[in-house]
Amino acid sequence: MRPCFCYSSHVLEFITCFSGVYLALHYLNLNPTPNSSDSLKALIFIGSVASWIGIGGAPQYSGSKHAVLGIMRALSTAVRSTPLRVGCIHPFFVDTGIVPRPLKLMLAGIPLTSVQRVAGAIFYAATDPDERTNGSAWLLADDGEVFMVPKEEFKLGVYAMLDRRVNGIRACVFPSC
């Protein structure tokens, strides 16, 4: 059997993300701000709760979103000496038109993340002047608070806490898993 080298939409999304990062870094570095201490330059990635906990039946999606988290984490050290900061927003299922109707029916009763909450998290992550937010993840795991995971805390405790919250949701959505 010969391997198939067809690209899924998630592979193309990853390639596009990587190309976009390269272009963003190039142009942000071409246009330095006059006073770098007041700079609010930020590159904010869109991950998913699947960046942290894989979604069964969607390995390409989970893998591509985990790669987005990995790129952001790697870039956080690369941009440390520049006025640029990076961060990643990780929402649960967002209530948009791209969520298929059968999935929305399966998620009935589970709070979907609103586009406004995701936009607010992006805005906050991009404009927070605290340099310690560089490399942080911003999680919207349910309809609770948006919480920041500092890069220093990417440890098993965060995964365990997130695992409890997401598995509670998963048990309601996919009871047989």
pLDDT for 8-37, tens place per residue? 565 666 666 677 887 888 787 777 666 655
User: What tens digit of pLDDT does each residue of 34-86 get?
Assistant: 665 556 788 999 998 888 877 777 788 888 888 888 889 888 888 887 878 89
- Helix-strand-coil split of the chain, %, nearest 5: 50, 10, 35
134 vs 149, residue with greater confidence: 134
Q: Are residues 53 and 166 in contact, defined by beta-carbon separation less than 8 angstroms?
A: yes
Q: What was the pLDDT predicted at 102?
A: 83
Domain count, the chain: 1
Percent of all residues in the chain with a pLDDT value above 90, rounded to a whole number: 11
Closest alpha carbon to 87 in 95, 79, 99? 79
Residue 31 is assigned to a structural domain of this protein: no
Instruction: Kindly report whether the global pTM for this prediction surpasses the value 0.75.
Output: no
Q: CATH number of the domain that 79 lies in?
A: 3.40.50.720
Residue 154 is assigned to a structural domain of this protein: yes
Q: What was the pLDDT predicted at 108?
A: 80
User: Judging by beta carbons within 10 Å of its beta carbon (0-12, 13-18, 19+), is residue 47 exposed, middle or buried?
Assistant: buried
- What confidence category does residue 95 fall into, taking pLDDT thresholds of 50, 70 and 90? confident
DSSP 131: G
User: What tens digit of pLDDT does each residue of 105-148 get?
Assistant: 877 887 888 889 999 999 999 998 888 888 999 988 777 788 88
Residue 66 is assigned to a structural domain of this protein: yes
Range of the domain at 120: 40-173
User: Judging by beta carbons within 10 Å of its beta carbon (0-12, 13-18, 19+), is residue 120 exposed, middle or buried?
Assistant: middle
pLDDT over 60 (residue 5): no
